[in-house]
Amino acid sequence: MAIFLTGSTGFVGGRLLKNLLNDTDQQLFVLVRNMSKGEELVQTFPEEQQKRITLLRGDITAPEFGLTSSTLSMLQNQIQTFYHLAAVVKFDEHLRDEIFSANYDGTKNTLKIAHQLRAKRFVYVSTAYTVGKREKGIEQLYPINDDVHNPYEESKVQSEHLVFDYKEDMEVIIFRPAIIVGDSKTGEADSKFTLYGFMRALDVFKRRVARKHPEATYRLIGDERATSNVVPVDYVANILALGATSAKPNTIYHITNPQPTNNFKSLQFVKDALDFPQLEIIQPHEADDLTETERALNDMIGVFKPYLTRDFVFDDSNTQQLIEGTSIEHLSLDDETYRMIIEAYFQAK
């Protein structure tokens, strides 16, 4: 029996692929849109492991992924676990059609293929932020019409319901990571999204605007009561790998930080790593007299506002049970490790 993966050339997917190669002896069929990028990824593994990887050129939004009938026939009854990671991580309302095409239609298509191939188990990687505007995240399906902040969250809520529609046909499992950041040991990251998109925006602002007026200060609105729930990519990939072996069917698992750092401290880490002393962090009630430039700065990162101004709390009891007895320790991300991860991003630029 083999494992099928989508999204393996992404930030998390490459780490998961490495874990599956190390932790199992199964063949891995990897769907890639860009064959060159897939081949580059395969070359990072030892030769013996490379022999276990078969790249398939295809697209989750295309009928039957664009695979040939002979390929589909060959895969039928061969897939033990089908991992679906491929997604678009964008929040803007004007990108709604693109987001839903990839995240919702792509998931619908992927479920059909997995069912067609008679896969035993379907593992879907969603997001902890399907919590939307609720006060606390629970490891259960949320109502499909719950209040959310953006089309990304909405697409993921609806996709989770699609997945559970197949629970009578195959084992279904949903993992919900929070904000994925770099490796907890090295800080290494390969991402342009979420926290990294936020940091990149501040970096661009510093170079384009603040450098011209080094005497000026720029106020960024934050909330000292809010937290950013960040999880290192190695922790995420280690837990995802258990989806092929130990995860319970029809279960949702949060991959979240039980003690997240508050946003004032997180923003200070970013400010220090950027060497941007002109950046000041203020409370929402202090934002009445922002300059035009400061308003432009805050608008520039407006899509991240829901995640900068709230304290997100997540129950991860199912995940704690899943990792019990394994080598994976429940996440404890200290400030120095988090600071190192942020600094590593700018050092690698």
The yes-or-no verdict on residue 145 having pLDDT over 80 is yes
Please, which pLDDT band fits residue 342 given cuts at 50, 70 and 90? very high
pLDDT of res. 136: 95
The yes-or-no verdict on residue 290 having pLDDT over 90 is yes
Residues of the chain with pLDDT > 90, as a percent, come to 75
pLDDT per position as a tens digit, 4-27? 999 999 889 999 999 999 999 999
pLDDT of res. 336: 94
Task: Please name which of 306, 260, 314 lies closest in space to residue 153, comparing C-alpha atoms.
Answer: 306
Instruction: State the average pLDDT for the chain.
Output: 93
Tell me the domain boundaries of the chain.
2-182+230-260+314-332, 195-227+261-312+336-347
The yes-or-no verdict on residue 74 having pLDDT over 90 is yes
pLDDT of res. 264: 82
> Stretch 66-84: mean pLDDT, rounded?
97
Which of 30-44, 134-148, 297-311 shows the lowest per-residue confidence on average (mean pLDDT)? 297-311
> Stretch 271-300: mean pLDDT, rounded?
89
The yes-or-no verdict on residue 2 having pLDDT over 80 is yes
Higher-confidence position of 277 and 254: 254
Q: Which CATH number is 2-182+230-260+314-332's, of 3.90.440.10, 1.10.10.60, 3.40.50.720, 3.40.50.10800?
A: 3.40.50.720
Dihedral angle over CA of 63, 64, 69, 73, nearest 10:
-160
pLDDT of res. 212: 84
Higher-confidence position of 161 and 199: 161
The yes-or-no verdict on residue 224 having pLDDT over 80 is no
> Stretch 319-335: mean pLDDT, rounded?
96
Please, which pLDDT band fits residue 93 given cuts at 50, 70 and 90? very high
pLDDT per position as a tens digit, 170-223? 999 999 999 999 999 999 987 777 888 888 889 999 988 878 888 889 998 888
pLDDT of res. 129: 96
Please, which pLDDT band fits residue 97 given cuts at 50, 70 and 90? very high
pLDDT of res. 349: 67
Which of 227-241, 262-276, 325-339 shows the lowest per-residue confidence on average (mean pLDDT)? 262-276
pLDDT per position as a tens digit, 123-139? 999 999 999 999 899 99
End-to-end CA, the chain: 41
